[in-house]
Amino acid sequence: METIDFEKIVNRVVSLQGRPLEIRACPDQYLGKVAGFVEVPLSEGRTPAQKRTSEPCILLILESPHKEEFVGEPGPAKGFTGEMIKQHLGTVLGLPNIENYGLILVNAIQHQCSLGSNTTVYRDRIFRAVWSNGGAENFQNRIVSIFQVGDLIVNCCTKGNDFELYGPLRNLVEVALKASIPNTESVRRTHPSSWFEAKQRGKEWKV
């Protein structure tokens, strides 16, 4: 699998001026069935994605972990984003028997592209730099290793703040998905952090 020297990439893109850098990777995780995920605290019931069961799963893809994901043991969507997934996933997808699916959370880039700051400051620049320096290949290898026939891939990556200049981040991820698993159509939804607004739930974005 393509390795990422996150610290080297960050130092090439921005000047941290002595600020500490979170260099841990946030692992992709299997959270059990959707029904169980809704009922337990966000930090519980998590196992590595590779230890998933053979039942059909929802592979919910986010762009990169932020602050709460590195409190204690790293894990995706441990803060507000996770709460929104717990509350609204069924409404967002509108699928029958969704509670019987397994749930796997995947970050396109497993490192903290925001550098712990407001996402408008560093995230997009760092995401693009990592993506073009092994990040895309790393994501593709991971998604292929996790995916099983019958799974539902849901691309919930953000479009980013600089999309008008460089194109949406989520489109980069969508292209990588189509190249990795060409016979599977992904479901495209807004980032879970926006689901507190009813109009954002179930909204499909265009490629």
Please state, rounded to an integer, the average pLDDT across all residues of the chain: 94
- pLDDT, one tens digit per residue, over 18-41 is 889 999 999 999 999 998 888 888
User: How many Cα atoms occupy the beta-carbon half-sphere of 153 within 13 Å?
Assistant: 23
Decide if 143 contacts 181 (C-beta within 8 A): yes
**What is the structure's pLDDT at 95?**
87
Per-residue confidence band for 2, with pLDDT thresholds at 50, 70 and 90: low
| Edge-first strand listing for the sheet containing 187-188 | 47-48, 29-33, 102-107, 57-62, 152-155, 187-188
Average pLDDT over residues 153-161: 96
CATH numbers and ranges of domains, the chain? 6-188 (3.40.470)
Using CA atoms of 41, 42, 45, 46 in order, give the dihedral in degrees to the nearest 10: -170
Cα–Cα distance for residue pair 164/19, rounded to 1 Å: 30
